[in-house]
Amino acid sequence: MSEGDSVPEAPIAAIADAVKRFVTPEGGTVAALDGVTLEISKREFVTLLGPSGCGKTTLLRAISGFENLDEGEVRIGGEVMTDVPPHQRPVNTVFQNYALFPHLSVEGNVAYGLEVTGVPKRERVVRVGEALEMVGLSGYEKRRPDQLSGGQRQRVALSRAIVNRPSLLLLDEPLSALDRNLRQSMQLELKTLQHDLGICFLFVTHDQEEALTMSDRVVVLNQGRIEQSGTPEALYHRPSTRFVAAFIGDGSLFYGTIQGPSNDPHLQTEDGLRFRLAPGAPVGERTTLLLRPEHLELVPKDSGDGKGAIDARLEQSIFLGASRQLVCKLANGATVTAAPAGLGEKESDLVDGQAIQLAYRLDRPYLIPEPAHGG
């Protein structure tokens, strides 16, 4: 993932201050994109992640040319795309519903882009063969889309897009129609394909697991704005907003003020909970603490020395095979989930409703540096 870091290259695509407003049926306007700036570099696998209506599909369509921006601009390969119609843009899209041409065979679908741009027949045949082989559909040339399974259609859509060798491939929730197993294997295949082709993928999804699995970089969108852009690890461990923290992964958020001496500070929430923090936390600031399940372990009463300790009541102990999840209630009624590493016998002896003590290493919880109004 770090191979591109050393050589700074011109971005393949750059979106600057993109604003797109839509008129709602009620007559108001809503900004699907509200000042989005984004650069995508060569060979990058970027995922746009966000809940439905966050503007991710609008951004994709602005790049492919099916939406015109109200403000801002899209550049691809350094050129401003504002007046370039979709069919002249050097990008290809894998559509959510695949949008395969029902009247053409698999071969005809894949060859379509080459035919309309005047690629000679001989080259066409070779490239279509290659593109189909890449997605594992050799031998299906003469089939029609309605004779294929969902996964196969997905592959045709993919090979129809990559056969044109776009500098940027746009994927609009391409896996959402597939069942879970197929989706997971396609995730890996897509990642491999992107690596082999060496082109940029801009992938849109609302599925955080999908985003974390495949991407070099994830861009989290919310209400038309970029919440955070970073590697999956950065997003997971160091979310810059409460929204990102809540959207990605499991975890509990506690909002409060940092108090106490700077060599042993703690976070005081308004409803009376205290969380010990590592020395050096900015005393006096209002902030949000993120506790992930894997931060928490089960400890004997009053033994959490040098750690942060939380008194909790066990609600439910869920056996997951490789691990066990402890769903606990805190004094203020908040729920936290602990997923202690390793399978201690002590966890299996627990009784629901029992008072337990959870502890975390002081360097593990993350303080979200968000302005006070955030959330």
Partner 1 sequence: MAARRESRRLFTLLGPATLFLGVFFLGPLLVMIVYSFLAPGLYGGVVWEFYHWNYGRILGWADGEWEDFDPVYVQIFLRSARLALTNVLITLVICYPAALWVSRLSARWQTLVVFLITLPFFVSLVVRLFAWVLILRPSGFMNSALMSLGLINEPIDIIFTETAVLIGLAYVLLPFMFLPIYASVEKLDHSLLEASADLGAGPLKTFLRVTLPLTLPGIAAGSVLVFIPSLGNFIVPDLLGGAKVLMIGNLVEQQFLSARNWPFGAALSVMIMSVMFVLILVYIRRIGRKGVEA
3-state DSSP assignment of residue 74? strand
Residue 176 Cβ vs partner 1, minimum distance, rounded to whole Å: 14
Residue 169 Cβ vs partner 1, minimum distance, rounded to whole Å: 11
Following CA atoms 37, 40, 45, 49 in sequence, which dihedral angle do they give, to the nearest 10 degrees?
Answer: 10
Q: Which H or E run includes 233?
A: helix 232-237
**Cβ closest to partner 1, residue 12 vs residue 299:** 12
Residue 208 Cβ vs partner 1, minimum distance, rounded to whole Å: 26
**Cβ closest to partner 1, residue 22 vs residue 319:** 22
Residue 146 Cβ vs partner 1, minimum distance, rounded to whole Å: 7
Residue 79 Cβ vs partner 1, minimum distance, rounded to whole Å: 16
Residue 100 Cβ vs partner 1, minimum distance, rounded to whole Å: 8
Residue 144 Cβ vs partner 1, minimum distance, rounded to whole Å: 9
**Cβ closest to partner 1, residue 116 vs residue 188:** 116
Locus of tokens 């609600």:
315
Residue 211 Cβ vs partner 1, minimum distance, rounded to whole Å: 23
**Cβ closest to partner 1, residue 56 vs residue 295:** 56
DSSP states along 125-181 = HHHHHHHHHHTT-TT-TT--GGGS-HHHHHHHHHHHHHTT--SEEEEESTTTTS-HH
**Cβ closest to partner 1, residue 120 vs residue 306:** 120
Residues that bind partner 1 (CB under 8 A): 64-66, 85-88, 91-93, 95, 97, 99-103, 112-113, 116-117, 146, 160-161, 164
Identify the burial level of 91 via C-beta atoms within 10 angstroms of its C-beta, where 0-12 means exposed, 13-18 middle and 19 or more buried. Answer: buried
**Cβ closest to partner 1, residue 127 vs residue 292:** 127
Cα(104)–Cα(164) distance, integer angstroms: 18
- What are the respective helix, strand and coil percentages of the chain, to the nearest 5? 25, 30, 40
β-pairing, 91-94 with 168-172? parallel
Cα-trace Rg, the chain: 25
Cα(38)–Cα(81) distance, integer angstroms: 15
Residue 148 Cβ vs partner 1, minimum distance, rounded to whole Å: 15
Q: Are 237 and 295 in contact (CB under 8 A)?
A: no
**Cβ closest to partner 1, residue 28 vs residue 118:** 118
- Tell me how far apart the terminal alpha carbons of the chain are, to the nearest angstrom: 31
Buried b (16+ CB within 10 A) or exposed e, 119-151: beeeebeebbeebbebbebeebeeeebeebeeb
Kindly state the tokens that stand for 264.
């042993």
**Cβ closest to partner 1, residue 117 vs residue 332:** 117
**Cβ closest to partner 1, residue 164 vs residue 317:** 164
